[in-house]
Structure 1
Amino acid sequence: MAAAAAAATSAAAAGAIGGGKDRKEVVPVFQGLRRHGSMPLSTRSPHLLPLSTSSSSSSSSVISAVSTPVKPDTSETKRSKVEIFKEQSNYLRFPLNEELLTEAANINEAATQLIKFHGSYQQTNRDERGVKSYQFMLRTKNPCGKVPNRLYLVMDDLADEFGIGTLRLTTRQTFQLHGILKKNLKTVMSTIIRNMGSTLGACGDLNRNVLAPAAPYTKKEYVFAQETAENIASLLTPQSGAYYDLWVDGEKIMSAEPPEVTKARNDNSHGTNFPDSPEPIYGTQFLPRKFKIAVTVPTDNSVDILTNDIGVVVVSDADGEPQGFNIYVGGGMGRTHRVETTFPRLGEPLGYVPKEDILYAIKAIVVTQRENGRRDDRKYSRMKYLISQWGIEKFRTVVEQYYGKKFEPFRELPEWEFKSYLGWHEQGDGLMFCGLHVDNGRIGGKMKKTLREIIEKYNLNVCITPNQNLILCDIRRSWKRPITTALAQAGLLQPRYVDPLNITAMACPALPLCPLAITEAERGIPDILKRVRAVFDKVGLKYNESVVIRVTGCPNGCARPYMAELGMVGDGPNSYQIWLGGAPNQTTLAECFMNKVKVQDLEKVLEPLFYHWKRKRQQGESFGSFTTRMGFDKLQEMVDKWEGPLESGSRFNLKLFTDRQTYEAMAELARLENKTAHQLAMEVIRNYVASQENGKAE
């Protein structure tokens, strides 16, 4: 529908979403409402819903909405404080631009909210007492986790010169720099921008970094998934220019986007846009809350596809040629302690679209959330709450108004698998890539120095994975040996030398810098994993067995603990909720098993759970599946009645071996029976005692 016609019908509502004093933005309403001349409604109107659909004579897939006329809502809709800040900001400029020029070490409340959209959070070091030491965390925007060689080297330099000397890899395939002082913000930002990087939209109420498999395969579907992720990221990038005004004095340093992206953004055939606005998709208010998108290929769940607001899956034909996409909607991890109406949620199938329509479908979903997501209470502003309230059928119907077509049925998909891409792999173009495990994504010390030397010497590009690891790309075969040697000397080992528990574990930064953290995560998880390994050894679980463990310092769930087999969510000082029931392939939501478990008491919970998993599991049953099958009542009984495994000797402190030779012989026999030496010795003793008692009885 023509922008002029939309403007003519919507003048009265132009400021409803908060256009600035000198600007008017047209509030998009459904195509059918405009066609039938209905009264334009505020974009926040909760009853702006289609009551029926009809097919166009030209295409059976075109939707036109029909609405019962309603009286205009003249009451003022309640909005959160952040909504007011956005409205008055002149598209994310004011008062951030003024606050950055002051001598103070910090910025005010409004600027603190606005700088998130530019990719930064204001923080303080909570380990320090007394006067607050303000600093800033910067997060980059790297669709698919791709990091060009030049950008990596620059980030490495900036971490040393302006940060705390470390780089951090995030669960959304980006970098975080910690410890940037306000006076250095512009220098650091402009350096990133001028070296092929960006932080725009890494935080804030808009589309965040778009995930895709980090593996640099040349397979058609992988390349297509990554290209799609990059196009979606470009489509939903803010357009007003505020970012470049603040950080590079108005100079736009950006690569040209594909024409199909520009076309999709500018298309207003179904009332998705604010005509003549600097932000045609976002308007002055942007989205109600953060918005997350991931793209992947069938079976590859390296991106935790179901945890995103939108999950996009490439669908190919029998020859491997991409044909279209399955779309999931409504995932999200964040929640609030003791508020049962907040919850983590998995995405669910929305439908299928042909490949040429994907940008239009994504835009329609984003606009549906923009128009209907809650803006009064940020606890409930994510799209998952809208879908939970409406139901998927109603949500689909509304999205179809903005899409202009009906979604096709969801295509069948194979089972999902978690893929880490650690170790050496063929790319498919004669070159290799090497996936490196980085504990909690923290790169520092000798590891940081060695990585820089390798990346600089061989001119390598890198990719960040959604599991906080790093992939070195485009490696010639002749470089494999010297690179492997250098990595090993820096502690970056081949995956077979890394504890399996560490391979899938994740933690958020938490203390001391995150203002939301209740307790430790990144600093606490190394000891937690060692203690879990000790429990494994004690109850007789093999070294190559593992569970997915994720730890976060607060309920926001940045390390996606609600998908873990064993999730630990900070709920007090040195205290965690224990969540159980996730799946190794990240397709099942965990549930809260226990509250307020002190970190020093973890073994009291984990030891009986792992002990009974070892002895009562079905063939090939994962820990998460076991806990679900047992049920929490039975698991609680196991914990409450636990006195320790008899085999461990912990209750009787028996010294079974008097010499090394006997122990080694017993250990070898035990290994053949998949037991510990202690377990086998106890069996021998019990059998001997039983036989003697039977002899006496006879």
Structure 2
Amino acid sequence: MFWRRRQPFQSPPYKHVRHIAKMLAEVFAPQTGALCEVWLDGEKAATVEYWKKDIDMDEVKRIREHDNGHGQVFKTGEEPIYGETYLPRKFKMGVTVPGDNSIDIFTHDIGIVVLMDENYVLQGYNILVGGGMGRTHNKEITFPRLADPLGFLEPESLFDAVKAIVAAQRDHGDREVRATARMKYLVQKLGIDGFRDLVRSYMTDGGIALQPWRPMPDWEYRDYLGWHEDGHGTLFYGLLIDNGRVRGPLKKALRQIVDELSPFLVVTPHQNLLLTNIQPEQRRVVEEIFERYGVYRDVDRIDQLVRKAMACPALPLCPLAITEAERVMPEHLERVRAILGKAGIPPSESFVMRMTGCPNGCSRPYMAELALVGSGPNGVYQLWLGGSPHQTRLAWTYADRLPPAELDRTLEPLFVFWKQERKPSESFGDFCDRMGKSTLEQFVAQYNEGNANGQIAAEHPTNAHAADAFEKAKTRGRAEKIPIRPRVSLRPAVHARLRAMAARAGVPLKVLVDEILNNFINSPESESIFGSSIRDGIGTGGATNDKQYP
């Protein structure tokens, strides 16, 4: 029945968001039975996805197979969009409305923002491309990246453009090195302008439909916890699920609510749960069931640090995990809250904290204000700082290897510094980004030196010495953002020869390598081997996200 599929917020923009998401899911769904053959012993799903009843499948087929004559689709085979090779790597799309960043819009390969006027007339879509979180430790060719604005599309051009973006990644994405196969690396390589030109080459009429980005309100992270009206007389309830794990009494309570009230359940990108289509008179029934099982939580009384936190499953469930995440997140939250208290910061203060067991970034840690990323055995993590409270800015690495015993010693001075020198209402992430890594390190070092020398009373860890340390750091001036230092891997034999040459010449190795490469790049031999593009490309880089790294 239709009412069982009712979703939160029945306003036209949100309803259109869901419609576009359903259409995208079907237009770009694989058409072969390979998935079932490989993973399900050839058995198909027992039921048809419910959203197929809400969209025109004939229209989906028409969009998928439409050939605009610019290389978007293949005319033969079972896969008109993917051909015989599919995409180089996984591909994610997200759809939202202006201002609502509950889906972490900047972390997707494609982000789509539905734009309507004040009368709810559809104007078109703003498109972002090139986001992604995954990276690999000690491989600087891999990195998290925020999506860039690609442009604005009127309604009739959306699917033509999205097919063009997918085709661009299909044909030009890296198929040689798996670590750099995501579309974000293609966007980074070409630059957003170069990638936009590439997408236009796949679009109808040369991509003239791709217009400049339309201005929008600032983004805001929303978790939708607690009770809300959906706009059609019914309610929905946002339930906090710690790190997405449903078990024990909570599982039993949800089972009873579903059996008795038949709400539609929506899993959020923050691993929480929305119970929708609840009649106003059923609100108390829901609360009583949660209370009966001892799992009811007043949203206003939940520690905001806990409310904003997220961790991936990690050990023992994930084979890629290096460290724990989900199972140790509660104790880390308690520990961080205690350190905040020791620094004199009240319980009302909080920030976005995320934790992951490896650098792949499934809990999107690189968007957090403070993140712990699994780095080594025995609970060693990287510490990332500087993301924004609304997930619009990348964090950066503060410490590469942070053993558990060093957590208090590292975080306490950072929190003290934040308390003393923050601007009014300045979040922890914004503060860290404003100060920069070097200034933070200087303060932490001098703060800990004062502790070691007994200059800070245990009961007052935030006073004279901390202020003095800040003054010393401030007199040096706020450090400039630290650029990424490029690295190039060499075969051991080549590296040994270069070291020997540098020793004979009596110059540093980096000076010798720089001179050799510079002479070669500017020589006729380089053009004969690689073409003129290698020299033309030097100095451009195509990088658009440099500003996101300290």
TM-score normalized by the length of structure 1: 0.61
Point out where structure 1 has 5 or more consecutive residues left out of the alignment: 1-146, 151-213, 655-677, 684-698
Note the 1:482-561 alignment, pairs <5 A.
482-488=285-291, 489-561=293-365
Question: How far did 1:260 drift?
Answer: 2.7
Equivalents in 1 of 2:323, 2:461: separation in Å?
A: 37
SS at structure 1 position matched to 2:401: strand
Q: Are residue 307 (structure 1) and residue 107 (structure 2) matched?
A: yes
* Distance change >3 Å, CA 314–CA 644, structure 1 → 2: farther
C-alpha contact (below 8 Å) 2:129/2:148 kept by paired residues? yes
Deviations along 1:489-542, whole A, 9 cap, x unmatched? 432412112110011111011101211111111111111000011011111212
Q: Distance in 1 between matches of 2:7 and 2:382?
A: 34
Aligned: 1:584 with 2:389:
yes
CA, structure 1 residues 552+653, in 2 after alignment: closer, same or farther (shift >3 Å)? closer
Give the counterpart letter for 2:272 in structure 1: N
Give me the CA root mean square deviation. Answer: 2.4
Residue equivalent to 1:266? 65
The one-letter amino acid paired with 2:60 is: V
> 1:486 Cα deviation (Å)?
1.9
Q: CA deviation at 1:639?
A: 1.6
The letter for the 2-side match of 1:429 is H
Q: Specify which of 240, 261, 266 is matched with residue 32 of structure 2.
A: 240
Shift of the alpha carbon at 1:630? 1.1
Matched, 1:566 2:396: no
CA distance change for structure 1 residues 303 and 148 in 2, over 3 Å: closer, same or farther?
farther
**Cross-structure match for 2:198:** 398
Aligned residue among 405, 419, 435 for 2:238? 435
Corresponding letter in the other structure for 1:510 = A
Shift of 1:608: 0.5
Structure 2 match to 1:351? 151
Please give the secondary structure, in 2, of the residue aligned with 1:610. Answer: helix
Secondary structure of 1:537 counterpart: helix
Query: Is 1:620 matched with 2:420?
Result: no
The one-letter code matched in structure 2 to 1:337 is H
Alignment of 1:276-315 (within 5 A): 276-315=76-115
Shift of 1:276: 2.5
User: Alpha carbons of 1:650 and 1:465: their partners in 2 closer, same or farther (altered >3 Å)?
Assistant: farther
The reply to whether residue 596 of structure 1 matches residue 396 of structure 2 is no
CA gap 1:215/1:632 in 2 versus in 1, 3 angstroms: farther
Of stretches 256-265 and 624-633 in structure 1, the one that deviates more from structure 2 is 256-265
CA contact (8 A) 2:369 2:395 kept: yes
Partners of 2:33 and 2:42 within 8 A in 1:
no
- Tell me if structure 2 keeps the 8 A contact 1:552–1:559: yes
Shift of 1:411: 0.4
Distance in 2 separating the partners of 1:440 and 1:645: 38
Report the counterpart of residue 636 of structure 1 in structure 2.
441
Distance 1:645 1:360, change over 3 A: farther
SS of 1:642's equivalent in the other structure is helix
1:587-630: CA deviation from partner (whole Å, max 9, x where unpaired) = 01111111110123211111100111011101111111111111
Distance in structure 1 (CA, Å) of the matches to 2:267 and 2:3: 11
Alignment partners' CA distance in 2, 1:494 and 1:273:
52
Aligned to 1:389: 189
Deviation, structure 1 residue 344: 0.5
CA distance in 2, matches of 1:303, 1:382: 19
Q: Is the contact made by 1:611 and 1:645 (CA closer than 8 Å) also made in structure 2? A: no
Residues 395 and 593 of structure 1: CA distance in aligned 2, closer, same or farther (over 3 Å): same
Write the mapping of 1:128-527 to structure 2, written as runs, cut at 5 A: 216-243=8-35, 246=40, 249=43, 253-254=47-48, 255=52, 257-258=55-56, 259-269=58-68, 270-404=70-204, 405-406=207-208, 407-488=210-291, 489-527=293-331
User: Aligned residue pairs: how many?
Assistant: 448
With 261-270 and 560-569 compared, the bigger mean Cα shift is at: 261-270
**Distance change in 2, residues 1:619/1:502 (3 Å):** same
1:101-112 alignment, distance < 5 Å:
none
Q: What's the TM-score, normalizing by structure 2? A: 0.78
What is the CA–CA distance in structure 1 between the aligned matches of 2:7 and 2:277, rounded to whole Å? Answer: 11
CA distance in 2: counterparts of 1:414 and 1:264, whole angstroms:
31
Aligned-pair CA distance for 1:421: 0.1
How far residue 241 of structure 1 moved from its aligned partner, in angstroms, is 2.9
Is the 8 Å Cα contact of residues 356 and 372 (structure 2) preserved in structure 1?
yes
Instruction: Give CA-to-partner distance per residue, 1:182-224, whole Å, 9 cap, x none.
Output: xxxxxxxxxxxxxxxxxxxxxxxxxxxxxxxx96101100000
Q: Provide the C-alpha distance between the structure 2 equivalents of 1:235 and 1:364, rounded to a whole number of angstroms.
A: 13
Q: Kindly tell me: are residues 252 and 362 of structure 1, through their superposed partners in 2, closer, same or farther at Cα, counting changes over 3 Å?
A: farther
Contact 2:383 2:400 in 1 (8 A): yes
Which stretch of the first structure deviates more once superposed, 215-224 or 557-566?
A: 215-224
Greater Rg over alpha carbons, structure = 1
2:447 match: secondary structure:
coil
The one-letter amino acid of 2:18's match is Q
SS at 2:345's partner residue? coil
Q: Which amino acid aligns with 1:501?
A: L
The answer for unaligned runs of 5 or more in structure 2 is 465-550
CA distance, structure 1, for counterparts of residue 203 and residue 139 of structure 2: 35
Instruction: Report SS of the residue matched to 2:212.
Output: coil
Kept in 2, the 8 Å contact 1:436–1:494? The answer is: no
Cα distance in 2 for partners of 1:643, 1:575 equals 20
Q: Greater helix share, 1 or 2?
A: 2
Distance 1:650 1:442 in 2: 45
Structure 1 position 249, deviation (Å): 4.2
- Aligned mates of 2:405, 2:332 — CA distance in 1: 10
Q: Which residue of 1 aligns with 2:544?
A: none
Q: Take 1:294 and 1:451, find their aligned partners in 2: how far apart are those partners?
A: 28
**Cα distance between partner residues in 1 of 2:447 and 2:318:** 37
